[in-house]
Structure 1
Amino acid sequence: MFKRPVGRRRETALVAAGLLVAVGGVFAVAETETGTQEGESDDSKYSEPYFNVRLWEWADGMCESMASLEALRADSVKKADRLRGKAGDPAAERESGSVAATYLRSASEALEGISRDFGAVDSLTRIPDTERLRAAYAREIDRVRPEAAELADADGLAGLAARERIGRAERVTSLVASIKEPDPSWDHLIQRDGTFERAANSPGCFAVRQAERERRSAPPEPEPPLLPAADGTSLAACADGACEVRVTKPATRVKVRELTLEVDRNDTEVTVRHSYPSGGAVRVNLSGEGARGTFGRGGGTTVTVELKAMNEGNAVLGITSSR
């Protein structure tokens, strides 16, 4: 989210509403405001020919809120493509289930934030289209927000199979895609109304456009460097009970003797889970180098997993076992 410009409003207002007069070679501001009668709205300032502070403050809030919505739309399109067509491939489906859970939480939080942002924009009573535009966006966000929040509820996600999580995420991507643009839209208002054309030149709107240009022209981020591991990415090396492997996928399974470990990785931690045939499971979160978790059965194999290193795209696990 872009930080909204906070300036010295009185000085800015004078420039907005004044004339530059050369006095002895020095430019001075000659204030042209005549004031307002008691009970008259400050929105009367919007008859000024160029711009004023309140119009730009309104535009800043709208541009920043619309940019957040557009970012959520773009992310949802990417996630929908990634989640599509994973049925029938257990390994790919499990990985997508982890991606789906992360997306559900982030999309729900984003919708909550965007709803607050649109709600915080003060519309201008003398320019009805400003309130119509803001309210239209707010209604569309609030139409889909409750269902997205329900689908992303942590208690509801707990214990769901990967396919069910994917189904929930696909529903949220369709909800985001269904958010309609107001009619008339911001772009249409800019084309037909000089007030909105001036509003589009506010500092916040300019910052949004500049950030988008920089994003489009920036080179792709380099892949995180691979961390050294004695057995590379060969998870099969763990079958005999001892290995050092690099995990790059968000979700995978590791067979260690007769135990199967489910490993979920994100940029900051690794979660290792082992389910028992008789029911129940043990889960350990490893969030720092040297963190360990132990799994096993009474009278059988005991497996210890150590997080040896990690970065944004990799985690190195050292796995040992004993009988």
Structure 2
Amino acid sequence: MGLVAGGLVVAVGGVLFMAGAETDDGESDDFSGDTSEPFFDPSQRDWGEGMCESMASLKALKTDSAKKADTFAGSPASVASTYLTSASSALEDISRKFAAVDSLTRIPDTERLRASYLREIDRVRPEVRELSDADGLAGLSTREKTGRAERVTSLVAGIKEPNPSWDQLLHDQWFEVAANSPGCVKVRQAERAKSNPSEPPEPVPPLPPAADGASLGACLDGACEVRVMKPEADIKVGGLTLEVTRNGSKVTVLHSYPSGGAVRVNLSEEGARGTFGRGGDATGTVTVELKGMNRNGAVLRINSSLPPG
């Protein structure tokens, strides 16, 4: 407790409340002991909220990168390319967020904390930008793109926490109050809601049986029934390649012709079908039917009337 401007300031859970302040003429002002409105120094509030939002963005990037680190091998090149683009963009945005937080030179630990984050991010940012450059990715093989994506996940994982960290500084009342600013509270609530959802997830309906299981190679002879479990997959049917993408409640099947152009079909309900041909004067078609899907995968039935070869 302490007297500030003639009023009593009470610290409750690290947030300051003004109670029972009196004006110079002895009359009570608009504040009351029951007020629930916290009293924050504006620069303290803005600094805390800017840091909380920046740290949350960095944490989200590191968590996402860690989850994807082992998923690139065996996946289409587009998976690695998409991650590289998004990770580089996120890192640039996080750097800008930290840089935008006001420097409070009168409290050295605030600037040391902010500057430490910036140094760590800027240490890896140039290499991430180079590895993710669209021009540099053009023409690379799937293995090379996968290698770049795995390198970026390693760089992101290597971003170190400052010493002392934000948590270690919370013993200081100034940092404790900053950590209880409205923006910081919202960040913590959002993180808790994401990691511990109050409502149980909806049950996933089972996929229908697939005669050939998850063996996409069974489609090569022109007749198969397979489970597609990855977000993206290439299925070869004779001499024709189907690019399959699962996205939310639909399955998209794309066939690109060597001479240019493509046919794209969206399958969003059980029994939906799409038909593809080789183009030109070639005879025969490939029919793809959606037998069923859930958020984990889809089952496709494929039949072909293409001539052999």
TM-score (ref. length: structure 2): 0.69
Q: How many residues align?
A: 277
State the partner residue of 1:296.
278
Q: Which has the higher helix share?
A: 1
Q: Does 1:59 align with 2:48?
A: yes
Distance in structure 2 (CA, Å) of the matches to 1:211 and 1:162: 36
CA 1:57–1:316: 2 relative to 1, 3 Å: same
Moved more, 307-316 or 207-216: 307-316
Distance in structure 2 (CA, Å) of the matches to 1:144 and 1:294: 46
Distance in structure 2 (CA, Å) of the matches to 1:314 and 1:286: 17
Distance in structure 2 (CA, Å) of the matches to 1:274 and 1:224: 33
Aligned residue identity for 2:232: A
Q: Once the 2 structures are TM-superposed, how far is the Cα of residue 62 of structure 1 from its aligned partner?
A: 0.5
Q: Does 1:122 align with 2:124?
A: no
Distance in structure 1 (CA, Å) of the matches to 2:281 and 2:189: 64
The equivalences for 1:42-53 within 5 A come to 51-53=40-42
Distance in structure 1 (CA, Å) of the matches to 2:226 and 2:179: 53
State the partner residue of 1:251.
232
Distance in structure 1 (CA, Å) of the matches to 2:134 and 2:300: 27
Q: Deviations over 1:61-85 (max 9, x none)?
A: 11111011111111212222334xx
Partner-residue secondary structure (3-state), 2:30: strand
CA 1:281–1:291: 2 relative to 1, 3 Å: farther
Q: Once the 2 structures are TM-superposed, how far is the Cα of residue 168 of structure 1 from its aligned partner?
A: 0.6
Distance in structure 2 (CA, Å) of the matches to 1:270 and 1:121: 43
2:173 to 191, 194, 202: 194
Distance in structure 2 (CA, Å) of the matches to 1:155 and 1:271: 27
2:184 to 188, 198, 205: 205
Aligned residue identity for 2:88: S
Which 5+ residue runs of structure 2 have no aligned equivalent? 1-14, 33-38
Kindly report the root-mean-square deviation, in angstroms, between the aligned alpha carbons of the 2 structures: 4.1
Q: Does 1:272 align with 2:254?
A: yes
How much identity, in percent, do the aligned residues show?
A: 54
Aligned residue identity for 1:108: S
Moved more, 217-226 or 166-175: 217-226
Contact 1:243 1:318 (8 Å CA) reproduced: yes
Distance in structure 1 (CA, Å) of the matches to 2:110 and 2:256: 55
Distance in structure 1 (CA, Å) of the matches to 2:245 and 2:53: 34
CA 1:220–1:67: 2 relative to 1, 3 Å: farther
Which 5+ residue runs of structure 1 have no aligned equivalent? 1-14, 31-49, 87-92
Partner-residue secondary structure (3-state), 1:210: helix
Contact 1:231 1:237 (8 Å CA) reproduced: no
Q: Does 1:77 align with 2:66?
A: yes
